[in-house]
């Protein structure tokens, strides 16, 4: 059983849902990224998601795109990110997964990426530009390394294809709440609960919902059908205030914000 499988098994036994925060690696610095990951883990994050900056982000809205650009402008390299992860994961209770383009994995070499990521304590990867139809070889490598390959289902995914994705995902399924890009929203689609409920009845793999989630009311609604929620832009936007405010203050504010969402999950 992988560390992510273990987390969801424990949550299921406790009748609880997962809170999965996202942060961009290297924005505003790798030291801050390390500190905020530890903060979010200590505040009750169940799995933490680390975005690997990429010049051509997929489905990322303006907040996360801007964070990627800031990190890339600082010449952040994958080797530095994984070194930071290696120094950070021993101090976290939550498993760490990367949101990473397959172009980066290919450039690094799939086998080498998995080896170095595992050595850094990374438990899995979300690879948004890796189609399920083309994921077979990488999925086998992930299985060999006991590394979760978390695949995405979107509102435009056909039910037939969603079943195929569910069969090949490990760790959890990333259910994209909206057709479009990441970013905070005031309302979620009306058919979201029905669509997730249908998939919930087709697979035993945990389903976590991301994109557009930022408010306790969103969490209260989604926990009826999901095994967890993923929150990115709202956290990244707060971290972008570092500079105007001291880093320690912003990290504490991010931790406080995470606790409000976790409290809503546990009501």
Catalytic positions are: 49, 60
CB 3 within 8 A of CB 216: no
User: How far is 60 from 236, CA to CA, in rounded Å?
Assistant: 12
User: How far is 112 from 115, CA to CA, in rounded Å?
Assistant: 5
List, as one string, the DSSP characters of 228-263: EEEE-HHHHHHHTTBTTB-HHHHHHHHHHHHHHHHH
- 87 CB-near residues (< 8 Å, 6+ apart): 34
User: How far is 176 from 230, CA to CA, in rounded Å?
Assistant: 10
């Amino acid at each position: 059983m992988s560390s992510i499988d273990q987390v969801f098994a424990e949550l299921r036994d406790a009748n609880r849902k997962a809170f999965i925060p996202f942060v961009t690696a290297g924005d505003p610095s790798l030291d801050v990224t390390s500190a905020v990951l530890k903060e979010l883990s200590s505040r009750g994050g169940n799995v933490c998601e680390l975005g690997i900056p990429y010049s051509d982000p997929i489905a990322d809205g303006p907040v996360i795109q801007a964070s990627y650009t800031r990190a890339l402008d600082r010449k952040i390299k994958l080797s530095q990110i994984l070194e930071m992860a290696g120094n950070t994961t021993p101090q976290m209770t939550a498993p760490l997964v990367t949101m990473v383009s397959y172009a980066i994995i290919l450039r690094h070499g799939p086998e080498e990426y998995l080896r170095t990521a595992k050595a850094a304590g990374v438990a899995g990867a979300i690879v948004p530009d890796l189609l399920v139809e083309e994921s077979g070889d990488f999925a086998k490598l992930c299985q060999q390394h006991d590394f979760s390959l978390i695949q995405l289902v979107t509102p435009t995914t056909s039910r037939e294809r969603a079943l195929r994705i569910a069969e090949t995902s490990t760790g959890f399924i990333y259910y994209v709440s909206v057709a479009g890009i990441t970013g905070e929203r005031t309302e979620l689609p009306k058919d979201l609960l029905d669509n997730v409920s249908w998939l919930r009845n087709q697979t035993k793999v945990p389903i976590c919902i991301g994109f557009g989630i930022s408010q306790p009311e969103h969490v209260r609604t989604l926990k009826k059908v999901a095994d967890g929620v993923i929150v990115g832009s709202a956290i990244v936007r707060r971290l972008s205030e570092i500079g105007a405010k001291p880093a320690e203050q912003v990290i504490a504010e991010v931790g406080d914000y995470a606790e409000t969402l976790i409290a809503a999950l546990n009501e």
